[in-house]
Amino acid sequence: MNIPTLAAPAILLGRCNPYGAESGGPRRVMGGLHGPASAATPDAGLPENVAQGEWLCQQPAQVRVRMTCQCGHRGEVTSLCSWHEEITWGGERVAGGFRRVKKIVRVHGHLEEIQRRQAGACIRCLYPGNYASWYHDLFALQGHLAALRDAGLWYSDVAEAVRRKIEGLVTAFDEGNASGTIHRCPMKLIAVS
C-alpha cells in the first residue's frame, strides 16, 4: 500500500532582504529620509554591492515583517532571516604546530539585529513636517561651510552667513525637541502574512 507523505505547508520567501539588495537597492534608507544612492560609498574599496549601499545577505528569509511605531507610522513589508548557523574558523595548538579548526556557531539573523540596533526611533517621528527638509538643508550648509574652510575662506562674510543659517536650523531643531514635536518613538518589527 502506498501512503502519501504529509508535509506542513510552507511559503518560500526568497533570500533575506534587509537593505534592498534583493529588490532593486535601498530606495527608502532611514524611512525614506534618504534616496536610492544615499547609502552608496564609491571609491572606498568595498565590494560593488556594498559600495552601492546594497548590503547582501546570503541567508534564506524566514519571516516577513513591517516596522511600526506607536504613532501609527508603518514601513514597507520586507523578508528577513532569523537565527541561523554560521561556520567560523579558529586555530588550536597541536604537537608544536597549529591546526585549523572549523566551528559552527548559532548567530542572530537580521530580524534580531534590526530589532536590537536599528529600530530605536521612528524616522518620521524624529523628522516630522519640515524637519526632514531642514535636515537636508543643514547637511548641505555644512558641506558648503567645509568647502569654504578648505578654500581658506573660513573667516569670510560668506562663511559667517552660512554659520548663521546653520545656527538658525539648529535652534529650530532644539525648539522642536523642547516642545515635543520631535520625539523618539521606538519601532517594532511586526510579523505579517
- Helix (H) / strand (E) element for 168: namely helix 157-179
3-state secondary structure 68-94: EECCCCECCCEEECCCEEEEEEEEEEE
Residue 183 CA to chain centroid, in angstroms?
19
Q: Is the pLDDT of residue 53 over 60?
A: no
Give the angle 113-118-124 at the CA atoms, nearest 5°: 150
What amino acid occupies position 134?
A: W
Q: How confident is the model at residue 58 (pLDDT cuts 50, 70, 90)?
A: confident
Look at 13-17, 38-42, 92-96 and tell me which has the smallest mean pLDDT: 38-42
- Dig out the grid coordinates for 136 from the structure: 537636508
Which pLDDT score is estimated for 47?
Answer: 59
Core vs surface per residue 118-157: b (16+ CB within 10 A) or e: ebebbbbbbbbeebbebbeebeebeeebeebeeeeeeeee
Which residue in 141, 170, 176 sits closest to 158, CA to CA?
141
Which pLDDT score is estimated for 30?
Answer: 66
Q: Is the pLDDT of residue 6 over 50?
A: no
Compute the average pLDDT of residues 130-158: 94
Q: What's the whole-model pTM score?
A: 0.66
More confident residue, 18 or 20: 18
Give the count of beta carbons closer than 10 Å to the beta carbon of residue 30.
Answer: 16
**Is the CB of residue 134 less than 8 Å from the CB of residue 173?**
yes
